[in-house]
Chains A and B, each alone.
Chain A
C-alpha cells in the first residue's frame, strides 16, 4: 500500500499492469456497483426480449464498461449521462412512435433524429472551438472544444440507443441494433473517433491535436447529413436475411474502432509532418510524442481491425457459405489491414521511420476511406448495407 501512497502524483499515471489494482479507489467501486445495478435494471426491463447471444453480449458488456470506467475516469460521467438520456427517451415514448412529434423533449432533444442532429451541430462547434483556441491561443476555447466534443458524443450515443428502441417500436420483428446501414455506421464512426480522440487528449494531456482530428469527424458528419437528406437514409429499415447475424453485432463495432484509430493516426501524421518541417513546431507536441500517438492509434486500430476482419470471415462463412470469397468489401478490408501491418513493420526498421511513417499513415486514411465508403460507391459486391 504505502508504495502507492508515497509515490508522488504524476501528470498522467501510466498504466503499470500489476500496480493498477492498487490504484482502485472508493469511486471505482461505486462506479462498478452503479454499472452492475444499471445492468440489473436493464435486465429487468428488456431481458425478456433477449436470446442466448444477446444475453452473452449483454453480460460481456458489464465487465467491459467497468474496465473502461476504471482505466479512463471521464468515461464514468459519460456513461451515466448517456444512460439517463436514453432511458428518459424510452420513457417519454411510452411505446408510441407518434409521440416523437408531439412530446416536446422527444421532438427537440431525445428522439433519435433530433439527438443525432444535436450531435452533428455540437461536433461542428467543437471543431470551430478547437481552431479558435489554436489560432487565438485561447486555452478556454480549447476547453470548450473538449466539452462540446463530450456533449456531441453523449447526444450521438444516446441517439443511437433511442434509435435502437424506436426500431423495436416500428415492429418487434424489425427491431435491431442500429449499426446495420451506412447512415447508422457513420454516426457510430463519428462517436468512436471522438471518444478515441478524447482518450488520447487526456492521455497525452494536449488539446492541440483537436484541430487535426475534429475536421475528420466533421467531414464524416457532413457526409452523414448529405446522405440523410438526399437518400432519406435515416429511415429505419428492416434487416435482410444476410444481415440477421450475431457476428454483425460485433463485426461492425470492431471495424469502426479500427477506422477511428486509423483516421486519428492519419491526422496526427499530418501534424507530425508539419512539426518535422518546423512548421508550428513550437505550438504542437514534440515529434516523438506525435509518433507515439500515431503508434497507439494504429495499434488499437490494427488490433480491432484484425478482430473485425476475422469476425467478418466467420459471418461470411454462415451467410454466404465461404469464409472468404474475395468480395470487394472483404478484399479492401484486407488491403487496409495489410497496409497497417506494413506500417507497424516499417516502424521497426531503422531507415523507414520518421516522415515515411507519417506519410504512410496519411495515405492510409485514403485507403481506409475507400474501403469504408468508396467500395459501396464504386464497386459491386455482396455487402448489402448502404450501397450508394
Chain B
C-alpha cells in the first residue's frame, strides 16, 4: 500500500521533471552541442582517413563513441527520444488547463481580484445605467473582443477576451515537434540497421556483378524506407538501387525498371554547368506501363512511393580509338588500339597494360597567362559600374576532349596520363599535349609534341626514333658526318655524335651536363654546353630531313621559319626522357557514352515531417504574435471598473489598456481619467 503510494509519487516526480521547462531547456542545449560534433568531425569517411587524422588511440575512442556517424548514434537518437517524450508530456500536462483557459471567459471573477489587477481604472459613467451595458458591449465588439455578460448582485460584469488562438498555437507548435521527430526517425537509418540485424542482411564488399550478389546482400522488395543510388549507362536499364552501408553495399530491388535514353549536360559559356538532365523511361514491373520522363536537379519524379532524383553523372563506357606511337628504342610502326572507358588492355609481350580511366568531351579551362600578369583586381572596378564585368583576366576556352589512362609496367607501377585530343596552340605554334604524373595527386609534367606542316605528330616521332633506335641512329650519324669530306673530321664528328646520342638516350640533357662538369675545365663549361646543344640541334635537323625523305617530301634550307620546330622537337625529346611510357596514345575517334547516377528514395516519414513543418510554422507565429488579452468591465452603481490582464506582460500593454480605457470612457460618457 505505502509502497505503491511511494512509487506513484516517484512517478509523479519523474513526469514533473521530464515535462519541466528546465529539462526541456537542458535537452535542447544538449541536442545543439551534440549536433556541433558532427559538423566538426567530417562524417562517414573511410576508416583509415580517421586513423591518419586522429592516430591509433583516439581513432578507437571516437569510433567507440560513434562520432563518425553521430546523427545515427544510439545516444543521439536517445536525446531526440527524450525531447519527444518531454514535449509530449509537456503538451499533455498543459492540455486540460489550457483548454479550460481557452474556453472560459472568467465571468465569475471576483470584484476584489479585479481590483488587484495592475492595469485597472475606475470610471464614472454619465450614461444611464440601463444603456451602459449595451454601449460597453458595442465598444468591445468593435475592438475585436469576444465577451460574456454576467448579471450579479451589486452589478454587471462584462468579461471579454481576445487572441485565444495564441494558446492553440502552443499545441500546434509543440505537437509539430513530436510529429517531425517521429517522421525523421522513420526516414533515418534506424529501419535499415534493424533489417540488417533482424533479417540477417550482410553488406557485400569488393566489386562483384549484380547477378553474383547473394540473397543476404539483397533487401526486401517491399522495404518501406531506403535511400540508394542507381548507375545507368546510356541505352541501358537498371531495376536495383545500391545502398552504401559501412564499407560495403546492399542491393535494393525496385518495383520498376529505369532505362536511360540519353543524358544531357548543358554549360554556360563560362564552363559552369547549367543543366543536368536524364531522359529516362520508367517501366512498372507489374502493370508494365511506361513513363517517359526527364529527370533534372530540382525536378524529381515519383512512382510507387519511390522518388527518383538526378544525383550525378559519370562516363558510361565511351569507346575510344587510338593510334599508339612507340617510344622505346626498339623501332615500332604506329598501331591501332581501342577500348571502352574502364577497360584493361594488356600490351602483348611487353608486360605493360593500359587502363582507360576517363573521358571528358568538353573542357573549358582558363588559358590566360598565370596570375601576376594583369589578373589582379583593381578596387575601382569593384566600387563602380555593373556587377556584370567579365571574370577579369580569365580567358576561358574549350580545349576539347580530354582522355586519361593509366599505364601499368610489369612491376605493377602505374603512371597516369592526361591527353588532349585536339592540338593546342601556344604562342603561334601547334602542339599535341600529353601530361603525365606518377602519383594520383602528383604534379603533372607536360610533353608538348610539335606538329609538322600537315598537323601530324609523325615527323616528331620519326625524329624520336632516329634518336633512340640504334639502327636509325647509325643512319642519322652517317648523315650527320656527311657534311664534311675530311676523314679524321668525319671520325671525330662520329665519336662526338655517338657519344652525345648515347648520353642523351640515358636521360636527356642531365647526363650530358654531368659529363661536361666531370670532363671539361670549369671555364669552358659554357661554350662546351652550347657546342653540344648546337650538335644536338644539327642532329635533330638531319633527323627531320631524313623523315621528310622517307615521307617523300622535299628537303628544306635551315632558316628562321623552321628553327622553332627544331627547338620544340628538342624540348619534346628531352621531355620524352621523363615520359616513362613505351608508347603514346593519340585519340583518333570516339563514341561517347554517358551514364547518369540517380538517387532512389522511399521516405515514409516525409508526409509527417511536412505536416509537422506546416503546423510548426502556424503554431510559432500564433504563439509569438497572437497575444491573449482579457478585459473586464464591471458596471456598478455610479462606477465602471475596467481591468485588463494579458497572457504575457509586454511593454506596449499599458498603452493598449489606456486606449481601451479611453475608448470605454468615451462610450460610457465618463470624463477622461488620464
Contacts A114-B385, A323-B606; is A342 near B29 (CB within 8 Å)? yes
Residues of B within 8 Å of A169, CB to CB, are 386, 388
Interface pick from B4-12, B280-288, B616-624:
B616-624
Tell me, in angstroms, the Cα distance from A232 to B377 when the chains sit together: 7
Tell me, in angstroms, the Cα distance from A292 to B655 when the chains sit together: 14
Residues of A within 8 Å of B162, CB to CB, are 17-18
Contacts A306-B616, A321-B601; is A111 near B385 (CB within 8 Å)? yes
Tell me, in angstroms, the Cα distance from A91 to B651 when the chains sit together: 47
Tell me, in angstroms, the Cα distance from A204 to B268 when the chains sit together: 50
* CB of B414 within 8 Å of the partner chain: no
* CB of A328 within 8 Å of the partner chain: yes
Minimum Cβ distance to chain A for residue B239 (Å):
19
* CB of A229 within 8 Å of the partner chain: yes
Interface pick from B33-41, B355-363, B431-439:
B33-41
Interface pick from A2-10, A58-66, A135-143, A190-198:
A2-10
* CB of A14 within 8 Å of the partner chain: yes
Q: Is A310 a contact of B300 with CB atoms below 8 Å?
A: no
B227's partner among A11, A111, A322 (CB-CB below 8 A) is A322
Interface residues of A in 1-55 (CB under 8 A from B): 2-3, 6-8, 10-14, 16-19, 22
* CB of B499 within 8 Å of the partner chain: no
Tell me, in angstroms, the Cα distance from A233 to B97 when the chains sit together: 56
Tell me, in angstroms, the Cα distance from A364 to B406 when the chains sit together: 52
B384's partner among A108, A166, A322, A352 (CB-CB below 8 A) is A108
Contacts A232-B392, A331-B35, A335-B35; is A321 near B386 (CB within 8 Å)? no
* CB of A334 within 8 Å of the partner chain: yes
* CB of B24 within 8 Å of the partner chain: yes
Q: Is B309 a contact of A320 with CB atoms below 8 Å?
A: yes
Minimum Cβ distance to chain A for residue B664 (Å):
9
Nearest A residue to B42 via CB reads: A380
* CB of B184 within 8 Å of the partner chain: yes
* CB of A117 within 8 Å of the partner chain: yes
Q: Is A170 a contact of B32 with CB atoms below 8 Å?
A: no
Residues of A within 8 Å of B387, CB to CB, are 112-113, 163, 166-167, 178, 234-236
Q: Is A321 a contact of B377 with CB atoms below 8 Å?
A: no
* CB of A345 within 8 Å of the partner chain: yes
Q: Is B268 a contact of A113 with CB atoms below 8 Å?
A: no
Q: Is A321 a contact of B384 with CB atoms below 8 Å?
A: no
Contacts A17-B162, A331-B35; is A241 near B298 (CB within 8 Å)? yes
Interface residues of B in 354-402 (CB under 8 A from A): 377, 379, 381-389, 391-392
Q: Is A338 a contact of B32 with CB atoms below 8 Å?
A: yes
Tell me, in angstroms, the Cα distance from A338 to B79 when the chains sit together: 14
Contacts A114-B384, A235-B391, A338-B28; is A328 near B139 (CB within 8 Å)? no
Residues of A within 8 Å of B379, CB to CB, are 229
Nearest A residue to B20 via CB reads: A349
* CB of B88 within 8 Å of the partner chain: no
Q: Is A10 a contact of B658 with CB atoms below 8 Å?
A: yes
Residues of B within 8 Å of A114, CB to CB, are 383-385
Residues of B within 8 Å of A97, CB to CB, are 386, 388
Tell me, in angstroms, the Cα distance from A314 to B609 when the chains sit together: 10
Q: What bracket does the count of chain B residues touching chain A fall in?
A: 35 or more
- Chain A interfacial residues counted at CB < 8 A: 91
* CB of A282 within 8 Å of the partner chain: no
A318's partner among B40, B71, B300 (CB-CB below 8 A) is B300
> Which of A16, A106, A225, A300 has the most chain B CB within a 10 Å cutoff?
A16
Contacts A16-B656, A232-B391, A232-B392; is A345 near B25 (CB within 8 Å)? yes
Contacts A234-B387, A241-B298; is A7 near B32 (CB within 8 Å)? no
Interface pick from B271-279, B345-353, B528-536, B548-556:
B271-279
* CB of A379 within 8 Å of the partner chain: yes
Interface residues of A in 131-150 (CB under 8 A from B): none
Q: Is A19 a contact of B38 with CB atoms below 8 Å?
A: no
Residues of A within 8 Å of B22, CB to CB, are 349, 352
Nearest A residue to B380 via CB reads: A113
Q: Is B620 a contact of A111 with CB atoms below 8 Å?
A: no
Tell me, in angstroms, the Cα distance from A314 to B300 when the chains sit together: 12
Q: Is B25 a contact of A346 with CB atoms below 8 Å?
A: yes
Residues of B within 8 Å of A241, CB to CB, are 273-276, 296-298
* CB of B163 within 8 Å of the partner chain: yes
Tell me, in angstroms, the Cα distance from A204 to B297 when the chains sit together: 47
Residues of A within 8 Å of B139, CB to CB, are 3
* CB of B134 within 8 Å of the partner chain: no
Residues of B within 8 Å of A106, CB to CB, are 385-386
> Which of B300, B386, B610 has the most chain A CB within a 10 Å cutoff?
B386
B613's partner among A232, A313, A319, A380 (CB-CB below 8 A) is A313
* CB of A56 within 8 Å of the partner chain: no
* CB of B235 within 8 Å of the partner chain: no
A341's partner among B28, B40, B143, B389 (CB-CB below 8 A) is B28
Tell me, in angstroms, the Cα distance from A299 to B166 when the chains sit together: 14
Minimum Cβ distance to chain B for residue A386 (Å):
15
Q: Is A237 a contact of B663 with CB atoms below 8 Å?
A: no
* CB of A189 within 8 Å of the partner chain: no
- The proximity string for B residues 142-174 relative to A, scoring 1 for CB distances below 8 Å and 0 otherwise, is 111100000000000000001100000000000
Q: Is B663 a contact of A3 with CB atoms below 8 Å?
A: yes
Q: Is B603 a contact of A322 with CB atoms below 8 Å?
A: yes
Residues of B within 8 Å of A223, CB to CB, are none
Contacts A3-B139, A244-B298; is A113 near B383 (CB within 8 Å)? yes
Contacts A302-B620, A326-B43; is A229 near B377 (CB within 8 Å)? yes
Contacts A241-B275, A241-B276, A345-B24; is A310 near B616 (CB within 8 Å)? yes
Residues of B within 8 Å of A348, CB to CB, are 21
Interface residues of A in 166-209 (CB under 8 A from B): 166-167, 169-171, 173-174, 178, 204
Residues of B within 8 Å of A375, CB to CB, are 39
> Which of B42, B71, B609, B651 has the most chain A CB within a 10 Å cutoff?
B651
* CB of B594 within 8 Å of the partner chain: no
* CB of A324 within 8 Å of the partner chain: yes
Residues of A within 8 Å of B388, CB to CB, are 97, 100, 166-167, 169-170, 235-236
Interface residues of B in 312-326 (CB under 8 A from A): none
Contacts A6-B666, A345-B24; is A228 near B382 (CB within 8 Å)? yes
> What are 15 A-B pairs with beta-carbon distances under 8 A?
A7-B662, A18-B143, A18-B144, A108-B384, A111-B386, A117-B383, A173-B268, A229-B377, A235-B389, A242-B298, A313-B609, A314-B610, A319-B298, A321-B311, A338-B32
Could you list 11 further interchain pairs (A-B, Cβ under 8 angstroms) beyond the known A167-B387, A313-B609, A326-B38? A3-B667, A8-B662, A18-B144, A18-B145, A235-B388, A242-B298, A318-B300, A331-B36, A334-B35, A341-B28, A345-B24
Q: What are the 9 closest A-B residue pairs judged by CB atoms, nearest first?
A: A18-B144, A321-B309, A241-B297, A100-B386, A321-B599, A14-B652, A292-B651, A328-B39, A310-B613
